[in-house]
Structure formats: structure tokens, C-alpha cells
Amino acid sequence: MFTTQQILERGKNVLIGNYGRLPIVMARGEGSSVWDTDGRKYIDLFAGFGAAILGHCHPSLVAAATGQIDKLWHVGNTFYTEPQIEFAERLNASAFPGKAFFCHSGLEANEAAVKLARLRGQQSTPRKWKTISLNRSFHGRSMALIAATGNPATKAGFEPMVPGFLQVEAGDFGALESAVDAETAAIMVEPIQGEGGIYPLTLEYAQQLRQLCDARGITLIFDEVWTGGGRTGKWFGYQHFVSPGATSTGDCVTPDIMTLGKAVGGGLPVGVMYARPDIAALLVPGKHGCTLGGNPICMSVAREIFDVIQAQGLLEHARKLGEMGMATIKANRRLTDRIVEIRGKGLFLGIELKSDPTELVEKALANGVIVNLTAKRIIRLAPALNISEETWKHGLAVLMNTIEQL
Ligand code: PLP
């Protein structure tokens, strides 16, 4: 047996220091609770950067994983396996008509999307190959995707950037229109900018994007790595882009390609590029692939997550708890001087503070709650969708006390 101090020392010796790790060793989890090696319990309001969408060790997901572990591990994508097909069918049932490519992460899903948009762009004269994205965006950390990411800090030290990527101001449609040229293959945006600080795109802007892409033959990519899989109280973030009075989900602003990660694997490595069938058809053998993409164990869990969310009405639960959380924080007069705004959808919320807090995350942890801070002063909350109302209320109360004491 090692003491926590000894484990921390061992970790520092063997793990690269590219994460700002806290001096805590997490040992086990159940639902929205996790315990460290000293037995301290925390309420998890950030669920593994939003990935643990049904919390820790959900019994149905454990059963799905172990059921598959005993059957078949991996055969490579030259064969069909049923878990892949079943998960893709779940996507079909909840999103626009499309076809899926599976990988392990959001980054890989975005790489595949950008590649596919370029393949499509090859059919035009002149050849379309450029991707426009937004300031304050985050799309991943490969060489291509740091070029697509609208945050100078993510690019710093890795210049020169891969050519063919540029960013414009989020929400400024005029700037976007002027940036588009005959070589623009794709426009890639997050329905709610996550790493940037929980900034939802407006319906009007989304509609303008769709019209522009249709008019100019540009592929519209929605990076739904944060917003996909139920996080926002709808299956996918784009489903919020719906005109008032619209009667069917088909009436929303739909992308040509949607990328998924985080929540769809529930904490296991699953990435998805999901594309309109006519565009997906361009990805023929030899153009793209991923050895472990669509691994049957991960796919069984992904399929089960969709079924649990559906069967337990968790989208509605997420919407209800999200609205309740926003209202509770807004109504707290003791926080009026500290908070600029609270924004987001479903269980994906950002609380913007008036000034940069010191050690907010550490103080919240000391009080027993896991939260995240992004863009220096925006507290992000992304708990499991199945968090109970009681735990959510308690976690928020602890967080609000922590903010008050800053
Ligand atoms: N896209 C968005 C919107 C993200 O927020 C992230 C990660 O946070 C990524 C892509 C990259 O995903 P991954 O870390 O799974 O590669």
C-alpha cells in the first residue's frame, strides 16, 4: 500500500507535466460521486470534462461493457460487427439522416470531417480546400486542428501553422462572408463554444451559416464534441437551432457533418464523424481509417448510453435541472456583485465571474465539489445527465458558498 503522498511522487516521476494536475489521487466513483485515495468524497459537477454522461460505473453500462468483453474484443474494420451498426442506428434515429465513421476522440472526428470536406471540395473548380472557424473556438490539438482553433495560446510554440485554416469573429456574419472565397471548403463551428467559455451561437447566425454554405457549396461542420450526446438537453446542440413555432425536429438548422466525442462514449474513447450520406460516400477505401475505431466494447457502451438516456427521459431531466440551476444562481443576491452572467443549455453551464478568481477549483474541491474554470473566469458545469435533483442542488449550494468566499 502506498500513501497518497507516495502515489503523487510516483506520478510526478513518470507522467509528463502537460496537465495542471491537482494533488489529489482519484480512486473510485459511483454516479455523481467520486472518492480520493484518502476516502474524501466529492460531488462531480464536471463528469470527466463532460464525458461521463451517465456518471461513474452506471450498472447498465457496466453490464454492456462486461457483456461484450466476454464475447469479442476487436476484429478490425474490414469486418462488420453488430455493436457498431446498432450504435450508428441510434445516431440515425436521433439525428439527421447520415452515416457514421468511428474513431476514439473528438480530435480524430474533426480531422476526419476536415478531410472529408476537402474531398468534397476537390470536385469544384477551383479546388476548395480551406476551412474557416471562429475565434474563441476549440477543435483539438493535432497540427491541423490547432490551426483551426481560435485561441492563440493553443497555437503558440507550434508555428508555422498548417495552411488552409483561418478564423473570424464569432457571431459577426459580415466578417465571415468577407472571409469566404472560391477555395473555401468548410465552415466549422461549435453550436455552443465550450472551451472558449460557454458561448451559444444564435439561431440567426446558425441560419445565416446554413444559407451561406448552401449558396457557395461549402460543407457546414458542427463540432458537437461538447454539445452532442444529450449534454444540452437535446440529443445534439444543433437541435436547439429551431425557429419559434417549428413543429418537427427536422426544421432545425442541420449541418452537413457533425462530429462527436466525450459524452457518446460515457468515459470510454469514442469519436464519431457523422455525415450526410451523399458526402459520406466520398470516403471510399484507402481515404481514411482508424484501427481501433468502433471497437465493440466501446460501441456496446455507446449504444447503451443512448438507450438509457431515452428510457429514463434524461434529456428532459437535463433541461429541467439546467433551468433550475440557472434560476437558483441568478436569484442568489449574495452573488450579484461577483457574477457577470450565467449561460448555457441543459447541463452545460458557464458562470462568468467579474474578476479572475484565485484557486477557485482548489477551493471548491476543499468544499467537496468538482468544477472547472475556463477562459480565466468562467466556471463550467457539466455534471452527469442522471445527477439527482438533490445532489445537483447540494452541489450548487456548495459552489455558491465557495464563490461567495472568493
Ligand atoms: N472539439 C471540441 C469542441 C472540444 O471541446 C474538444 C475537447 O475538449 C475537442 C474537439 C477535442 O476532443 P478530444 O479531447 O476528445 O480529442
- What pLDDT, on a 0 to 100 scale, did the predictor assign at position 94? 98
Tell me the average pLDDT across 219-230. 98
CA–CA gap between residue 205 and residue 125 (Å, rounded): 28
- What pLDDT, on a 0 to 100 scale, did the predictor assign at position 249? 58
Using one digit for the tens of pLDDT, what is the confidence trace for 154-209?
999 999 999 999 999 999 999 999 999 999 999 999 999 999 999 999 999 999 99
Q: Whose CA is nearest to atom 12 of ligand 1?
A: 106
- Which band of pLDDT confidence, cut at 50, 70 and 90, is reported for residue 136? very high
- In the numeric block, which cell numbers belong to residue 347? 447541463
Question: Which residues carry out catalysis?
Answer: 138, 223, 262
> In the block, which residue shows the cell 468515459?
267
Give which of 229, 181, 177 is closest to 205, Cα–Cα.
177
- Which band of pLDDT confidence, cut at 50, 70 and 90, is reported for residue 133? very high
What is the Å distance from ligand 1's center to 166 Cα? 18
DSSP, residue by residue, 197-256: T-EEPPHHHHHHHHHHHHHHT-EEEEE-TTTTTTTTSSSSGGGG---TT--SGGGS---S
What is the Å distance from ligand 1's center to 225 Cα? 6
Pocket test for ligand 1, best of 19, 107, 146, 198 (most atoms within 8 A of CB): 107
What is the Å distance from ligand 1's center to 374 Cα? 14
- Which residues have C-beta atoms less than 6 Å from ligand 1? 105-107, 110, 138-140, 190, 194-195, 223, 225-226, 261
Using one digit for the tens of pLDDT, what is the confidence trace for 99-122?
999 999 999 999 999 999 999 999
Average pLDDT, the chain: 97
Give which of 342, 375, 373 is closest to 360, Cα–Cα.
373
Tell me the average pLDDT across 298-311. 98
Q: Whose CA is nearest to atom 7 of ligand 1?
A: 140
Q: Which atom in ligand 1 lies closest to the alpha carbon of residue 137?
A: 3
Give which of 72, 195, 80 is closest to 133, Cα–Cα.
195
- Which band of pLDDT confidence, cut at 50, 70 and 90, is reported for residue 253? very high
pLDDT at 259 exceeding the cut of 90: yes
Q: Which atom in ligand 1 lies closest to the alpha carbon of residue 110?
A: 10
**pTM for the whole thing?**
0.98
**Residues making up the chain, counted from first to last:** 406
- Which band of pLDDT confidence, cut at 50, 70 and 90, is reported for residue 211? very high
Tell me the average pLDDT across 131-146. 98
Tell me the average pLDDT across 33-60. 98
